[in-house]
Structure 1
């Protein structure tokens, strides 16, 4: 079974699906194995975990990778490359589950181990650099993440060339963290490069290509190019629904992106429907406290605000803020977005002093975390000045 079960990549999904029930029966007795049989079971469990991870079945994938890691630690030792690969796989699943601190610890362990055993420029080391960059990006540690992604990209370009799949992944990762820092032009260039390469190497309907489509749409939207962004997001969503299904986390993420660009164009009813679909699906698939679910709640709150549905909107923003503070921390960029959004709600309810306090909290933290010239910082400056002007002049806004 270890010989015949594929590595879980997109091209092998049909075979993986047909073999998966048989694999689970085989793996049911894996705790009774030892030596080479234990290593075979670890490989099978790892490949199965990769497939399940790509399907969005994160809990089951994490169980598979956790077992493979323990088996390899026992037979091969903690610093063997195969053991460290299992560390990476488990770290990636933890990242997808929003368990960022645990994921970071895994990826730092893998990177340190690969640098020691294989050296700075080995492909496994460079992959580990990129994975650590991703989880730091998820935590809002953008400067450190950017440095890691630039290191990874430079390395994989040297090792694999400019058009290799690993290189394109690094290009996309760097584009993501540049986008989050407000470096939109450079981010757009990266995402266009990644998309062009993926279409050429993998095809238009490959999940990696569709992810690049979605990332490009997001950075176009951030630049106010909404019509172009909408067309891109509709392409991404249609493809992801076809390839991954209606309730895959990546599909739901694409639903949310389309909802945002519709909102920005004043298409509020369609945007609300998208955000409700995203939120309902994310709660079901990922849970109520997953960072993606909280983003969905926040986005729904925004479109409710624009439609004058203030009570439901305030409930959404308070929920997002409360859980983001708990899960991500008080100064994570997503938490500060919730702080600022709640300030807008309070202002609309004529609670101007409380609203100004929220916006000042968001501003002080954004200046510290994102910098003085980040677009979100500048937006918050305008909000604080507007509320301050109201207090000084006592006139309606």
Structure 2
């Protein structure tokens, strides 16, 4: 029965009949809530479907509220089933932090990004790409709040480590350099921003040329 109801919900959504799909998804969600099982995959799917319906109707606030509930429940379920240090749990935490950041809930986003970063440092090591991504996410939260010095310090650490581990011309390193250039510009340090952007362009050209040469050598080998 659930499968058929979901199929009708998708059909109504595809036809733009959002009121009908909303009623179906709400009914399924109410059934799932009555089961009192937050690990219920069906419940999570119902919430995701209903949130999607709200977005299609332009009801952004209601969609955002459901997105947060969904991310929270996925994170809690993953933490309970897989453990706090499992990659899946950390991804769920990062997703929830991103949702908070997109909603301008900086403090909540910062706290979660910080937790993810600290766990990844401990479990994966300070030089692991996943750790560097967590540091970049936290730096972006600082940037969004205008906390330029903290963002600059953290982004600088990412660039230093990424350059050493991945290489200066690696796309992740270049992205961090672009971020730092933006931070410089936002603080009125135009000369430093321009210098860093020029360095980025040179490295991007080097990376592009190297990629072309590698492709060419492979094609004739």
* TM-score, reference length from structure 2: 0.60
Which residue pairs with 1:65 in the alignment?
A: 71
Evaluate the alpha carbon distance shift between residue 166 and residue 64 of structure 1 in structure 2; reply closer, same or farther with a 3 A threshold: farther
Deviation per residue, 1:64-107 (Å, 9 max, x gap): 53333222112111122321222222212222221111111011
Q: Aligned residue pairs: how many? A: 163
- Structure 2 counterpart of 1:130, from 136, 144, 148: 136
Shift of 1:174: 1.0
Question: Partners of 2:175 and 2:68 in 1: how far apart?
Answer: 22
Shift in alpha-carbon separation, 1:195–1:93, aligned structure 2, 3 A: farther
Deviations 1:165-224 (A, max 9, x none): 22222112211211121111221233455567679989xxxxxxxxxxxxxxxxxxxxxx
Which aligned pairs between 1:189-200 and structure 2 lie closer than 5 A? 189-194=195-200
Q: Show the 5 A alignment for 1:259-278.
A: none
Structure 1 length normalisation: TM-score? 0.35
How far apart in 2 are the matches of 1:200 and 1:165? 12
Render the CA deviation track for 1:321-368: whole Å, top value 9, x for unaligned.
xxxxxxxxxxxxxxxxxxxxxxxxxxxxxxxxxxxxxxxxxxxxxxxx
Give the whole-Å Cα distance in 1 for the aligned partners of 2:68 and 2:198. Answer: 32
SS at the partner of 1:91? Answer: helix
SS at match of 1:120: coil
Distance 1:62 1:192 in 2: 40
Q: Aligned partners of 2:132 and 2:142: how far apart in 1? A: 15
The alignment partner of 1:135 has SS state of helix
- 1:163 aligns with one of 157, 160, 169: 169
Secondary structure of the 1:182 match is coil
Residues 71 and 189 (structure 1 numbering): CA distance in 2 closer, same or farther, change over 3 Å?
farther
Separation in structure 2 between the aligned mates of residue 66 and residue 193 of structure 1, nearest angstrom: 41
1:119 maps to 2:125: yes
- Report what 1:178 is aligned to: 184
Separation in structure 2 between the aligned mates of residue 201 and residue 62 of structure 1, nearest angstrom: 39
Residue 213 of structure 2: aligned partner: none
Q: Which residue of 1 aligns with 2:40?
A: 32
State the secondary structure of the residue aligned to 2:84.
coil
Greater relative CO, 1 or 2 (CA 8 Å, sep 6+): 2
| Kept in 1: contact 2:152–2:183 (CA 8 A) | yes
Residues 85 and 196 from structure 1, CA distance in 2 versus in 1: closer, same or farther, beyond 3 angstroms?
farther
Question: Secondary structure at 1:66's aligned position in 2?
Answer: helix
In 2: Cα distance, 1:87 partner to 1:79 partner: 11
Partner of 1:261: none
Match of 2:103 among 73, 80, 97: 97
Q: Report the alpha carbon displacement of residue 110 of structure 1 after superposing the two structures with TM.
A: 0.8
Residues 1:108 and 2:153 aligned together: no
Distance 1:183 1:107, change over 3 A: same
Where in structure 1 are there 5+ consecutive unaligned residues? Answer: 1-17, 19-24, 203-397
Gaps of 5+ in 2: 1-13, 15-24, 33-37, 209-221
Indicate conservation of the 8 Å contact 2:142/2:150, yes or no.
yes
Are 2:147 and 1:141 equivalent residues in the alignment? yes
Partner of 1:223: none
User: Pairwise CA RMSD of aligned residues?
Assistant: 3.8
